[in-house]
Chains A and B, each alone.
Chain A
Amino acid sequence: EDKVVQSPLSLVVHEGDTVTLNCSYEVTNFRSLLWYKQEKKAPTFLFMLTSSGIEKKSGRLSSILDKKELSSILNITATQTGDSAIYLCAVFQGAQKLVFGQGTRLTINP
């Protein structure tokens, strides 16, 4: 059965800290891995990773895929209270089906 597992499920840190969120997957016909940020209802797209070892970066956020280890990490440096959200990892299984992990609930305290 295809599955995506995220860890930790919950994380509380202080503003300014650096955090690393983990995602591992077992999916047939892997195409790419996506990271989303969910603050209220709608997940907002962050990154799509297809090639192993190539870091994608956007401001304080960065992510990298390790196809050998079937995993990905999402790093957030110099965290701010606005980074508080649920971070979702999802993997394309085949052409179009997205399989989501449980999410990591990140809380940044001032």
Chain B
Amino acid sequence: SAVISQKPSRDICQRGTSLTIQCQVDSQVTMMFWYRQQPGQSLTLIATANQGSEATYESGFVIDKFPISRPNLTFSTLTVSNMSPEDSSIYLCSGDRGPTDTQYFGPGTRLTVL
């Protein structure tokens, strides 16, 4: 399986602030993705992180709220901007090693916004 690390593992933030989550994957990973899991809900894809270019966002997610960077093959960041309590969720980074591979998930970041 692919090795994926993520930090921070959890954080408690104040309304109106921003948090950047980092994801590091091993060199075999080609595609990287960011998901959100709201309390009691399943996983929803936020965007695909593209190396060296703008991320591809899913319907309902916008770059101003969730800016994503992927400066190289093995590293990506997700920023949750201008946070509100509704942003309290688990944020997960995932990756695969090719179009026929499964997706592996990082350990997740549990975000609580007060």
Interface contacts (Cβ under 8 Å), in number, total 47
CB-CB contacts of A81-110 with B at 8 A, as 1s and 0s? 000000010100001111011110000000
Name the contact of B99 in the complex, choosing from A42, A90, A95 (C-beta under 8 A).
Answer: A95
Interface positions, chain B 56-74, Cβ under 8 Å from A, are 58
| A40 to chain B: closest residue by CB | B108
The answer to whether A96 touches B43 (Cβ under 8 A) is: no
Contact A42:B105 (CB < 8 A) given known A96-B96, A96-B99: yes
> Which size bracket describes the interface of B in this complex?
20 to 34
Binary per-residue interface labels of chain B (14-45) against chain A in the complex, 1 for a CB within 8 Å, 0 otherwise: 00000000000000000101000000011111
User: Are B48 and A88 within 8 A (Cβ)?
Assistant: no
CB-CB under 8 A from B45, the residues of chain A are: 97-98
A98 pairs with B107, CB closer than 8 A: no
Which residues on A are within 8 Å of B, measured CB to CB? 34, 36, 40-45, 48, 88, 90, 95-98, 100-103
Write the residues of chain B forming the contact surface with A, with a CB cutoff of 8 angstroms. 1, 9, 31, 33, 41-45, 48, 58, 90, 92, 96, 99, 102-108, 110
- Counting from the closest, the 9 A-B pairs by CB-CB distance are A41-B108, A100-B42, A100-B43, A42-B105, A42-B107, A48-B102, A43-B105, A102-B42, A42-B108
